[in-house]
């Protein structure tokens, strides 16, 4: 039978292993990741509605695509030149086949001899430029690179790119070639769910924002939020779209769209992405998408003037004083003089020899010459060399202390003059 502490330890290990597996499963989930379409080298126009008949379904479909190419090019030319579509040139089908990069089917119905569809066309930017009459086919000036964070709020839960969802898919499929906003879209793969999520949009710290923008090669932030509600599963849906800008989530604008059923939700999300792009474009044209200065690196600290070099400290020097005398009183007086001498911190006996030479270690604020001079002023005969001062008395007795300075005579009193001018 297992003991209770052992059972508790096994349960803890199993819980930790389960938590680690859950985190790994979240990061390695196959229901994650939606690569955005790269439309930087194409120009999109559409949708173009076609309703064409033919001898069979294939010929009707091919005829519909031909008509879509012709109408799409003329619509793109009119849009870029801001002119009526009837002024656009008519290109032969062989030329259109070369400059059309792709035809995307938004909706189509194929019959035995009839083809009805809504088609979007992408033209190769470089190949179409000579026929459009615009060098490089650049439609508008782009903004600075802006990191786009799509947020879906449904059932009280906020989701960004942690799992595949209709809102992220709409932005991944959104064609940005003709948008003035230079979007930086994340795929949701790798570490994206941990770095670009709904929680990040509410963090006020600018340091992490700067690191995140530098990591994705962006300079500013755009948050595309949709608040999604369903009447019942599979039934009508209502979505409130809110466009935000900057690290503080400043609202740019918003709108509401509805879908009659679940099948219409992808189209509603695609329309929401297009309308939100229009909101961002209008805000950019109005100068409302200015980069927050707090996202810039802080200026370097002001240079501090160098401090003046410190004044040299009053250094204490150690000297050895050698006292020579045949009487113990000579040593005692020498020790007393040293301990009362100005500038001496301490006088420590090293070796006492009353009938010969005694050694004293002295800590003194000054030079060895100054110490010898001070001892001479006390009546000692002193000489020095290196860090050693040698003193002795002129007689067998200690030197007498110098006489105190004579007192100055008091000044004589001055005569006081009376009121008549004479002295009293």
Residue 423 forms part of a structural domain? no
Cα dist. 228→82, 157, 338 in Å? Answer: 37, 10, 95
pLDDT over threshold 70, residue 346: yes
- List the CATH number of the domain containing 321: 3.30.70
- Last residue of some domain: 82, 108, 136? 136
pLDDT in tens, 175-191: 777 788 989 988 888 88
Q: What's the confidence (pLDDT) of residue 167?
A: 93
- Shared-domain flag, residues 222 and 331: no
- Shared-domain flag, residues 111 and 123: yes
Q: How far apart are CA 292 and CA 150, in angstroms?
A: 20
pLDDT in tens, 119-144: 888 888 778 888 887 654 454 557 88
Is-above-0.85 flag for pTM?
no
Residue 388 forms part of a structural domain? yes
- Shared-domain flag, residues 153 and 115: no
Q: What's the confidence (pLDDT) of residue 23?
A: 45
- Shared-domain flag, residues 181 and 278: yes
- Shared-domain flag, residues 235 and 114: no
- Mean pLDDT lowest among 7-21, 71-85, 114-128: 7-21
- Shared-domain flag, residues 144 and 278: yes
- Shared-domain flag, residues 196 and 98: no
pLDDT in tens, 292-324: 998 888 888 887 777 777 666 667 888 999 888
Q: How is residue 343 written in tokens?
A: 């500038």
Q: What's the confidence (pLDDT) of residue 30?
A: 57
Return mean pLDDT, the chain: 82
- List the CATH number of the domain containing 48: 3.10.28
- Shared-domain flag, residues 68 and 152: no
List the domain range (segments joined by +) for residue 53: 42-136
Domain count, the chain: 3
Q: What's the confidence (pLDDT) of residue 265?
A: 92
- Shared-domain flag, residues 237 and 329: no
Cα dist. 63→83, 93, 126, 343 in Å? Answer: 27, 11, 26, 114
Residue 409 forms part of a structural domain? no
């Amino acid at each position: 039978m297992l003991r209770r502490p052992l059972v508790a330890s096994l349960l803890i290990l199993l819980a930790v292993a389960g938590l680690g597996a859950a985190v790994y499963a979240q990061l390695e989930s196959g229901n994650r990741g939606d690569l955005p379409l790269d439309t930087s080298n194409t120009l999109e126009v559409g949708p173009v509605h076609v309703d064409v008949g033919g001898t069979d379904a294939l010929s009707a479909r091919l005829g519909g695509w031909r008509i879509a190419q012709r109408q799409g090019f003329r619509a793109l030319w009119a849009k870029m030149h801001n002119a009526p579509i009837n002024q656009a040139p008519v290109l032969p089908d062989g030329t259109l086949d070369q400059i059309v990069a792709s035809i995307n089917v938004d909706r189509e119905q194929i019959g035995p001899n009839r083809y009805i569809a809504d088609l979007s066309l992408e033209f190769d930017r470089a190949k179409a430029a000579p026929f459009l009459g615009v060098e490089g086919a650049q439609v508008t000036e782009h903004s600075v690179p802006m990191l786009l964070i799509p947020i879906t709020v449904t059932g009280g839960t906020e989701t960004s790119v942690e799992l595949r969802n209709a809102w992220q898919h709409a932005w991944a499929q959104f064609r940005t070639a003709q948008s003035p906003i230079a979007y930086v879209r994340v795929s949701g793969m790798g570490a994206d769910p941990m770095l670009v999520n709904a929680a990040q949009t509410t963090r006020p710290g600018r340091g992490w924002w700067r690191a995140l923008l530098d990591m994705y090669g962006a300079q500013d932030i755009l948050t595309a939020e949709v608040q999604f509600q369903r009447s019942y599963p599979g039934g009508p849906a209502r979505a409130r779209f809110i466009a935000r800008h900057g690290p503080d989530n400043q609202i740019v604008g918003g709108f509401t769209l509805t879908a009659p059923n679940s099948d219409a939700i992808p189209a509603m999300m695609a329309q929401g992405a297009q309308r939100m792009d229009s909101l961002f474009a209008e805000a950019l044209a109005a100068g409302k998408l200015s980069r927050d200065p707090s996202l810039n690196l802080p200026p370097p600290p002001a240079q501090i003037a160098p401090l003046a070099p410190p004044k040299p400290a009053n250094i204490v020097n150690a000297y050895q004083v050698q006292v020579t005398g045949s009487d113990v009183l000579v040593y005692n007086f020498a020790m007393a003089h040293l301990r009362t001498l100005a500038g001496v911190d301490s006088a420590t006996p090293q070796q006492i020899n009353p009938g010969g030479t005694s050694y004293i270690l002295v800590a003194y604020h000054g030079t060895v010459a100054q110490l010898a001079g001070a001892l001479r002023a006390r009546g000692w005969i002193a000489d020095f060399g290196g860090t050693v001062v040698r003193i002795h008395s002129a007689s067998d007795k200690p030197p007498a202390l110098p006489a105190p300075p004579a007192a100055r005579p008091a000044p004589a009193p001055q005569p006081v003059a009376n009121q008549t001018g004479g002295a009293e």
